[in-house]
């Protein structure tokens, strides 16, 4: 393609709205443009990359035996109501009514729709196992769209659904999808890690996320280099650390309960200074609004509460910290002085708190705390469950070695749904004896937009994007330094034609621009190979540069052609 005929609206300045590398570069390189908050249009170069990622995913799904179809994005409410998820999705679901007042939504995901299709069309065990997939636009009304296409309100997902006779069959289908995902992300040249994850609104017995390590990732990953354990922080199991430094705790004696005046002492930092002891000797009591009820949750003073774990235990749709008025109504005190003693609400306690002795809590009275509190004697827990976030250095739940913590971008997620949807929607098959059984399902998603952004996050420098060959919009760009010089243009045209004939995707920058402008644009949009036709063209010499390399090499025209063809074809596995 000739650059003079292409629509590539590059930007020299970084847009003010862009916070991360991929967002900045996708705008600057003319890959996309914003329509509204969390809604973007892909421009020609960006759409070429998008389609290449899409095709890689499609090829690996087909290779794994999945069959592609396409569903509507406008979906009736009835199936979501039947599964119970019409309410579970909450405000993230785009809801609307047609002219007859019938409820619809813009599809956030399609478990119910695929389940209904298979229920209506498949009855015999002979049709199983079966995996169906689509690559289609999804809609979620994110509270805070950010980071470009990393967290947007409209995005394209490859979602697949497997249907099996039993759990053993699901294990096989799940493994096929796991391996297909690994191949797809390998082909996109991503450095990723597979982690155990929370099933969230999808439900089911288990799930794994494919995470690209990145400092800008919104997810937190805990992993163990000793045994290979990996989980996101929503799922990571925390092993209680019940070591206590106080003499009373070590001795196991329960000391008399004491009320201590603590005026203007609210935070853990304030309390440790006031009581001259470690945060490990305090327990935080956090008041939450869980749908229509108020609950209290307790973790040790030096820990952070994991709201996903709490929400999963409570089974609520909405979970949020209670406001000051609710806290005051429940505890009788201002925020910062809540404690479990005397509370008339459900109290969920982390195992570390359950193992503590003679600790400090809020007194449910403004300006006071209680000292020497002991669970069982002074208050009772409604439940003791793992409630805290895992931290660097915690014991691995699998082998006990210290875990490491990093940030990551979720690009894929696979779930073992089991019979959650098939039972709710009556998706059954007849076995050899003619008996009805619910199909056992799996669900598998890849975010195409997010994968594209993740590739950029891992492949860029101060000059722009560095595309891996497999997803680059074009493989080679030819840059004649002076387009008014016939010799240069003749050679540039020859290289252009020869590479095209060899099946190489090539751009010819035939614009009447300064060489520096052309070089900057080539680096910004990230074309893997640049061949510059300059002053030595008359001697049959051109400059050859790989985008990821610092140096430039002089070589003959034929050498440049052979090298470009070999590098492209080798990278593409042809």
At 423 the pLDDT is: 94
d(CA 455, CA 411): 10
Instruction: Reply yes or no: is the peptide bond before residue 178 cis, omega within 30 of 0.
Output: no
Write out the residue limits of the CATH 3.30.930.10 domain(s) in the chain.
Answer: 50-217+405-456
At 217 the pLDDT is: 83
> Residue 542: CA atoms inside 13 Å, Cβ hemisphere, count?
29
Average pLDDT over residues 251-274: 86
Average pLDDT over residues 202-210: 71
pLDDT of residue 246 exceeding 70: no
Non-local CB neighbours of 349 within 8 Å, separated by 6+ positions: 297, 298, 340, 375, 381, 383, 384, 385, 387
Query: Rounded to two decimals, what is the model's pTM?
Result: 0.83
At 244 the pLDDT is: 60
At 245 the pLDDT is: 52
pLDDT of residue 191 exceeding 80: yes
d(CA 155, CA 38): 9
pLDDT of residue 247 exceeding 70: no
pLDDT of residue 307 exceeding 60: yes
Q: Which of 24-33, 218-227, 460-469 has the lowest mean pLDDT?
A: 218-227
CATH of domain 50-217+405-456: 3.30.930.10
> Residue 433: CA atoms inside 13 Å, Cβ hemisphere, count?
3
At 380 the pLDDT is: 96
Cβ atoms within 10 Å of 285's Cβ, excluding its own: 23
At 39 the pLDDT is: 95
For domain 474-571, the question of CATH label 3.40.640.10 is answered with: no
Average pLDDT over residues 267-294: 91
Cα 570 to Cα 52, 57, 542, 556, 562, distances in angstroms: 17, 20, 22, 21, 12
pLDDT of residue 200 exceeding 80: no
CA 201, 198, 315, 437 torsion-angle sign: positive
Band of the pLDDT at 277, cuts 50, 70, 90? confident
CB 348 within 8 A of CB 313: yes
Average pLDDT over residues 337-358: 95
Residue-wise pLDDT tens digits, 403-418: 999 888 999 999 999 9
Query: Coil, strand or helix: which one is 58?
Result: helix
Non-local CB neighbours of 208 within 8 Å, separated by 6+ positions: 178, 194, 195, 196, 197, 413, 414
Write out the residue limits of the CATH 3.90.960.10 domain(s) in the chain.
Answer: 247-384
d(CA 295, CA 309): 14
d(CA 240, CA 298): 14
What is the residue whose two structure tokens read 């590739």?
455
At 202 the pLDDT is: 44
pLDDT of residue 477 exceeding 80: yes
Please, what is the Cα angle at 62 between 61 and 65, to 5 degrees? Answer: 95
d(CA 373, CA 360): 6
Q: Which two tokens stand for residue 130?
A: 């079966």
Share of the chain above pLDDT 90, in %: 82
CB 104 within 8 A of CB 75: yes
At 536 the pLDDT is: 93
Residue-wise pLDDT tens digits, 140-177: 999 889 899 999 999 999 999 999 999 999 999 999 99
Residue-wise pLDDT tens digits, 507-560: 999 999 999 999 999 999 999 999 999 999 989 999 999 999 988 999 999 999
Write out the residue limits of the CATH 3.40.50.800 domain(s) in the chain.
Answer: 474-571
State the fold for domain 247-384.
Answer: YbaK protein (3.90.960)
């Amino acid at each position: 393609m000739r650059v003079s005929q292409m629509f590539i609206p590059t930007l020299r300045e970084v847009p003010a709205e862009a916070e991360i590398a991929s967002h900045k570069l996708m705008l600057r390189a003319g890959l996309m443009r914003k329509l509204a908050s969390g809604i973007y249009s892909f421009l020609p170069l960006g759409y070429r990359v998008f389609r290449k990622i899409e095709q890689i995913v499609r090829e690996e799904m087909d290779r794994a035996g999945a069959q592609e179809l396409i569903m509507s994005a406008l979906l009736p409410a009835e199936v979501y109501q039947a599964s119970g998820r019409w309410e579970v999705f909450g405000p993230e679901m785009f809801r609307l009514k047609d002219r007859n007042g019938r409820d619809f939504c813009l599809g956030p995901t399609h478990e119910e729709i695929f389940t209904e299709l298979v229920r209506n069309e498949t009855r015999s065990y002979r049709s199983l196992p079966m995996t169906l997939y689509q690559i289609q636009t999804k809609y979620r009304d994110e509270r805070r769209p950010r980071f470009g296409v990393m967290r947007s309100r409209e995005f394209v997902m490859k979602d697949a659904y497997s249907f099996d006779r039993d759990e053993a069959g699901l294990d096989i289908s799940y493994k096929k999808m796991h391996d297909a995902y690994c191949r797809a992300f390998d082909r996109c040249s991503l450095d990723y890690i597979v982690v155990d994850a929370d099933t969230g609104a999808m439900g089911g017995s288990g799930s794994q996320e494919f995470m690209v390590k990145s400092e800008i990732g919104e997810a937190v990953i805990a992993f163990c280099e000793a045994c290979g354990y990996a989980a996101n922080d929503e799922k990571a199991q925390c092993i209680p650390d019940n070591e206590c430094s106080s003499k009373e705790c070590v001795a196991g004696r329960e000391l008399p309960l004491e009320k201590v005046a603590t005026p203007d002492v609210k935070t853990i930092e304030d309390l440790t200074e006031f009581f001259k002891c470690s945060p490990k000797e305090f327990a935080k009591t956090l008041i939450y609004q869980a749908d229509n009820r108020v609950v209290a949750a307790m973790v040790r003073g030096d820990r952070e509460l994991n709201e996903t774990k709490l929400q999963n235990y409570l089974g609520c749709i909405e979970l949020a910290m209670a406001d000051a008025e609710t806290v005051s109504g429940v505890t009788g005190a201002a925020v910062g002085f809540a404690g479990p003693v005397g509370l008339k609400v459900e109290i969920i306690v982390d195992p570390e708190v359950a193992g503590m002795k003679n600790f400090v809590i809020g007194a449910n009275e403004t300006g006071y705390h209680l000292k020497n509190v002991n669970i069982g004697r002074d208050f009772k827990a409604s439940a003791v469950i793992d409630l805290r976030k895992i931290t660097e250095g915690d014991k691995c739940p699998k082998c006990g070695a210290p875990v490491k913590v990093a940030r990551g971008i979720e690009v894929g997620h696979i779930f073992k749904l089991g019979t959650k949807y098939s039972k709710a929607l009556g998706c059954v098959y007849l076995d050899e004896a003619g008996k009805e059984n619910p199909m056992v399902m799996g669900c598998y998603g890849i975010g195409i937009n997010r994968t594209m952004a993740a590739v950029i996050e891992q492949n860029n420098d101060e000059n722009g994007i560095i595309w891996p060959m497999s997803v680059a919009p074009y493989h080679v760009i030819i840059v004649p330094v002076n387009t008014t010089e016939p010799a240069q243009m003749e050679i540039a045209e020859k290289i252009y034609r020869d590479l095209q004939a060899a099946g190489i995707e090539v751009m010819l920058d035939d614009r009447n621009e300064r060489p520096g402008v052309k070089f900057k644009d080539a680096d910004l949009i990230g074309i893997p190979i640049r061949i510059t036709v300059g002053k030595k063209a008359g001697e049959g010499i051109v400059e050859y540069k790989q985008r990821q390399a610092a140096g430039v090499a002089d070589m003959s025209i034929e050498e440049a052609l052979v090298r470009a063809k070999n590098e492209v074809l080798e990278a593409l596995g042809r």
